[in-house]
């Protein structure tokens, strides 16, 4: 079976997931935690709907990034003359198609910035007298945010369209002169530096600037690594699902082993970047910088330490062995863990900062005394830890992601034709003896 | 006796790794007891054919690594809190983040050196070891299947020679190692 059929059953399930997501988004709009509302002297209750907007931003950024990385991996592999992935490159192409949906989602956030209805970003509001934010206003402003989102994701999507059309045309008109592949190499090599710089700029805008007074030069790398692990996790899960339906019989244990190695290696890479960022800030001991971690360690300890357990300790120890990267059971377990773990990672990047901004805003609007600094607010549902509503929103966005990916996947043959590395991919073998697999 | 304590090896040289793999499958079918196989590069699929078990070297490596982790972390903890406490940059004596890079380095160092020493010991490699080779070309472009024929009868040797010629061998030689 070389043609994926997007059955009505799949549509029902993914649309059902989306409905759960919409319901939970509505609930998160209504159920703003009491700690983030304040009644003014005139009795008006001020509410920034921070729970709704953080959930929306969190999942939009997370899945846009997964989509971006899936496409980035293709360009990196083409540039590296890699062959092993070619048999299933259509899956990564399909995952990349979500970028355009991600652009729409993030433009909703941008529009809400202009209308001052989301209060996600301190810099998008009144910054008069705030010398740090005034100093950053050349970059942290609504024009940059909106046109950055529009143009930069637009460029990514343009490259994706280009590579996709070459890939599809190669199926039809590819020759042994491999002109398609040679063109692909040029587009890939051009995309990589563009992707590197532009993704960093947009991560600063979308995520890092929720803590507008804080910055870290490691942040873009660290959060991109988080996307990377999530993208590999979803690739493994989708691949195992597709194989269970009888598709992709060309993909065997050797390919899964390499995907498992990517999951293992990039989990460690993520940890390396996480630690480098933490260590530099801890060592320099500069109050403007340490407040970021102080707040998370003191007020969000489960988020902070859970992040390290789910995204480093467990994947490291489980995937250390050879055989766990080849067995579907352990691969599924670690992939689910890492996907959730990195979703959790983005949760802890976004929620504490926005919660602080929202508290300041409602207190200020209600005329309460300006407290300044971070203060312990106890348990705030939807912020201190992800609640059921947050999980529901996650499920909803996952449904949307699956819908878009499976729809794109159904539009082309699963295994490409005429790619020069196709045979190499079919015969991919990594030389693992396999322990008990003795053939006589 | 000139050859006491030595092994009489009958070996065949093949010109291609695919032919080598099919020759070994044939040897398995004929229940021939292969002494060893020599190839100029790692041949994919050879280990399962020869029934070689997965190396346990990595388990030793994990233990060495864990020893390195403990040595570094407990060592620094003792030095900086009990043995010779010094305040660096106003940090507490027991500054875990500062210990992590050295803990990582010692983990890698212990694991790598431990594995090298273990591997050399298992293989009997030490300074001054001479390594007899069957044929210099097995490190260049020939693939060698070797049988121990020290105690073999003429009939058994003929059977092996028959096997070699049936599997596309390029040449067959005997050598005392």
Distances (CA, A) of A5 to A1, A14, A277: 10, 14, 45
Could you write out the DSSP letters of every residue in A218-238? THHHHHHHHHHHHHHHHHHHH
Indicate the length of chain A as a whole number.
440
Token pair of B6 as six digits: 């030595």
CB pairs under 8 A between A and B: 40
What are A191-229's pLDDT values in tens digits? 999 999 999 999 999 999 999 999 999 999 999 999 999
Give pLDDT, residue A143. 96
- CA distance to partner chain A, nearest, from residue B97 (Å): 6
Give the predicted TM-score (pTM) of the model.
0.90
Q: Which of A283, A431, A435 sits opposite B53 (nearest CB)?
A: A435
- CA distance to partner chain B, nearest, from residue A430 (Å): 8
Could you write out the DSSP letters of every residue in A301-317? HHHHHHHHIIIIIHHHH
Give this complex's ipTM: 0.80
| pLDDT cut 90: percent of chain A above it | 83
CB–CB contact B45 A429 (8 Å): yes
- CA distance to partner chain A, nearest, from residue B1 (Å): 38
Give pLDDT, residue B3. 62
Residues of A in contact with B42 (CB under 8 A): 431
Rounded mean pLDDT of A3-8? 94
Give pLDDT, residue A43. 81
How do beta strands B8-14 and B143-148 pair?
Answer: antiparallel
pLDDT band at residue A440 under the 50/70/90 scheme: very low
Mutation choice for B interface testing from A257, A269, A278, A439 by most B CBs within 10 A: A439
Q: Which of B28, B55, B91 sits opposite A440 (nearest CB)?
A: B28
CB–CB contact A279 B45 (8 Å): no
- Four-point Cα dihedral A25, A27, A29, A32, nearest 10: -130
- Four-point Cα dihedral A78, A63, A194, A269, nearest 10: -70
B44 interfacial to chain A (CB closer than 8 Å):
yes
Give pLDDT, residue A247. 95
Distances (CA, A) of B150 to B3, B9, B12, B177: 10, 7, 16, 10
* Interatomic CA distance for residues A210 and A7, integer angstroms: 40
B31 interfacial to chain A (CB closer than 8 Å):
no
Residues of A in contact with B58 (CB under 8 A): 322
Instruction: Assign domain B8-40+141-176 to a CATH class.
Output: alpha beta
* Interatomic CA distance for residues B145 and A201, integer angstroms: 59
Q: Which long-range contacts (CB under 8 A, 24 or more apart) does A364-368 make?
A: A365/A38, A365/A40, A365/A46, A366/A38, A366/A39, A366/A40, A366/A41, A366/A44, A366/A46, A367/A40, A367/A41, A368/A38
What are A139-173's pLDDT values in tens digits? 999 999 999 999 999 999 999 999 999 999 999 99
Instruction: Kindly tell me if the per-residue pLDDT of A368 is higher than 70.
Output: no
- CA distance to partner chain B, nearest, from residue A303 (Å): 19
Residues of B in contact with A275 (CB under 8 A): 97, 100
Q: Which of B28, B48, B89 sits opposite A434 (nearest CB)?
A: B48
A contact set with B (CB within 8 A): 275, 278-279, 282-283, 285, 320, 322, 429, 431, 433-435, 437-440
Instruction: Kindly tell me if the per-residue pLDDT of A373 is higher than 50.
Output: no
Give pLDDT, residue A74. 97
Instruction: Kindly tell me if the per-residue pLDDT of A434 is higher than 60.
Output: no
* Interatomic CA distance for residues A60 and A333, integer angstroms: 24
Residues of A in contact with B48 (CB under 8 A): 433-434, 437-439
Give pLDDT, residue A203. 96
DSSP state of A250: T
pLDDT in tens, chain B (177 residues): 456 678 899 999 999 999 999 999 999 999 999 999 999 998 888 888 998 887 889 999 999 999 999 999 999 999 999 999 999 888 999 999 999 999 999 999 999 999 999 999 998 888 888 878 889 999 999 999 999 999 999 999 999 999 999 999 999 999 988
Domain with CATH 3.30.70.260 in chain B: 8-40+141-176
* Interatomic CA distance for residues B55 and A431, integer angstroms: 13
Instruction: Kindly tell me if the per-residue pLDDT of A137 is higher than 80.
Output: yes
CB–CB contact A433 B90 (8 Å): no
What are A341-352's pLDDT values in tens digits? 999 999 999 999
Q: Tokens 């995952």 — which residue? A: A95
List the single residue in A with minimal CA-CA distance to B41: A431
- CA distance to partner chain A, nearest, from residue B83 (Å): 23
CB–CB contact A322 B54 (8 Å): yes
């Amino acid at each position: 079976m070389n043609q994926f059929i997007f059955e009505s059953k799949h549509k029902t399930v993914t649309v059902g997931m989306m409905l759960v997501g919409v319901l939970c988004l509505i609930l998160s709009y209504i159920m703003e935690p009491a700690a983030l509302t304040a009644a003014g002297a005139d009795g008006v209750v001020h509410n920034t709907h921070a729970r709704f907007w953080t959930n929306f931003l969190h999942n939009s950024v997370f899945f846009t990034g997964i989509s971006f990385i899936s496409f980035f991996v293709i360009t990196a592999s083409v540039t590296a003359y890699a062959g092993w992935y070619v048999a299933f490159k259509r899956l990564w192409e399909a995952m990349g198609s979500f970028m355009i949906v991600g652009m729409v989602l993030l433009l909703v956030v941008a529009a809400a910035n202009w209308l001052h209805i989301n209060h996600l970003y301190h810099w998008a509001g009144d910054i008069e007298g705030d010398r740090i934010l005034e100093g950053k206003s050349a970059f942290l402003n609504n024009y940059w945010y909106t046109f950055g989102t529009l143009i930069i994701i637009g460029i990514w999507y343009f490259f994706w369209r280009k590579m996709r059309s070459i890939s599809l045309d190669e199926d039809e008109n590819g020759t042994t002169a491999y002109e398609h592949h040679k063109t692909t190499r040029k587009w890939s090599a051009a995309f990589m530096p563009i992707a590197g710089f532009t993704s960093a700029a947009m991560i600063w805008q979308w995520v890092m600037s929720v803590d507008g007074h804080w910055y870290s030069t490691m942040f873009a790398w660290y959060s991109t690594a988080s996307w990377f692990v999530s993208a590999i996790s979803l690739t493994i899960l989708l691949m195992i699902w597709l194989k269970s339906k009888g598709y992709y019989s060309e993909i065997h244990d050797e390919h899964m082993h390499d995907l498992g190695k990517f999951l293992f290696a990039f989990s460690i890479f993520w940890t390396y970047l996480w630690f480098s960022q933490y260590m530099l800030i801890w060592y320099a001991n500069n109050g403007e910088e340490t407040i970021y971690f102080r707040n998370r360690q003191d007020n969000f300890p489960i988020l902070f330490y859970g992040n390290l357990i789910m995204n480093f300790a467990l994947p490291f120890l489980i995937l250390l062995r050879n055989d766990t990267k080849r067995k579907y059971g352990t691969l599924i377990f670690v992939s689910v863990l890492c996907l959730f773990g990195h979703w959790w990672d983005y949760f802890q990047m976004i929620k504490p900062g926005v919660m602080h901004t929202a508290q300041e805003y409602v207190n200020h609007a209600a005329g309460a005394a300006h407290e300044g600094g971070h203060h312990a607010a106890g348990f705030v549902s939807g912020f201190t830890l992800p609640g059921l509503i947050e999980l529901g929103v996650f499920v909803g966005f996952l449904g949307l992601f699956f819908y878009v990916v499976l729809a794109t996947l159904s539009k082309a043959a699963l295994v490409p034709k005429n790619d020069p590395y196709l045979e190499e991919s079919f015969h991919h073998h990594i030389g693992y003896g396999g322990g008990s697999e003795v053939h006589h | 006796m000139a050859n006491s304590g030595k092994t009489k090896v009958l070996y065949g040289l093949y010109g291609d790794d695919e032919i080598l793999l099919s020759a070994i499958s044939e040897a398995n079918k004929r229940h021939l007891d292969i002494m060893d196989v020599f190839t100029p590069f790692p041949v994919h699929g050879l280990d399962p054919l020869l029934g070689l078990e997965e190396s346990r070297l990595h388990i030793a490596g994990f233990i060495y690594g864990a020893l390195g982790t403990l040595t570094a972390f407990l060592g620094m903890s003792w030095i900086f809190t009990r043995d010779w406490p010094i305040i660096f940059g106003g940090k507490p004596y027991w500054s875990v983040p500062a210990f992590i890079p050295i803990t990582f380095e010692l983990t890698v160092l212990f694991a790598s050196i431990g594995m090298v020493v273990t591997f050399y010991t298992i293989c009997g490699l030490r300074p001054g070891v001479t390594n007899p080779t069957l044929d210099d070309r097995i490190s260049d472009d020939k693939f060698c299947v070797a049988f121990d024929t020290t105690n073999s009868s003429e009939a058994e040797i003929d059977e092996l020679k028959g096997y070699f010629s049936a599997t596309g061998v390029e040449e067959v030689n005997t050598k005392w190692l």
